[in-house]
Amino acid sequence: MRWEKIKKIIKKMINISLKKAFIIILAVLLCISLGFNGWLAYQLSLLVNAHEAQSMNAKILDFTRMFVEDVLMASTEIDFDTRLTLEATVRGLNDPQVFDQWQKFTKTTTKEGASNEAKNLLDLLVKKIGR
């Protein structure tokens, strides 16, 4: 009889210890999982930022290519459709600095002024790509 009581007490203690151990293990696994999920979210944000920067660089390079080919290398006067395409492309960049410099370039009336503003625009575009 005494042994049975002792066995029951020991079984209860073991059951309670196993339950506590199981709960502790689950809590530790939950904390590890939360930490790993936080790290994954951080890595994802870095990846998204890198993708956005790469996308912006591609847009700037595309506009720069168009500007060089259609404006700087043009042997004739730039037609209306080309101007419209360039204007739409520069607006699509959504960059106020580039747009302001573009406006300065398009509003110049002298060849010397246009040349200087074109240099400034190209300089700005190159600097934007490096960021």
Segments of 11-108 assigned E as strands: none
pLDDT tens readout for residues 38-84: 999 999 999 999 999 999 999 999 999 999 999 989 888 888 999 99
Residue 17 and residue 23: Cα distance in Å, rounded? 10
User: For 23-32, how does the pLDDT look when each residue is reduced to its tens digit (9 = 90+)?
Assistant: 888 899 999 9
**Can you read off the two tokens belonging to residue 100?**
């302001």
Q: Encode pLDDT of 98-107 as tens digits.
A: 999 999 999 9
Short-list 109, 74, 102, CA closest to 88: 102
Tell whether the model's pLDDT for residue 1 goes beyond 70: no
pLDDT for position 90:
94
pLDDT of residue 14 exceeding 80: no
Q: Report the percent of the chain where pLDDT is more than 70.
A: 98
Polymer length of the chain: 131
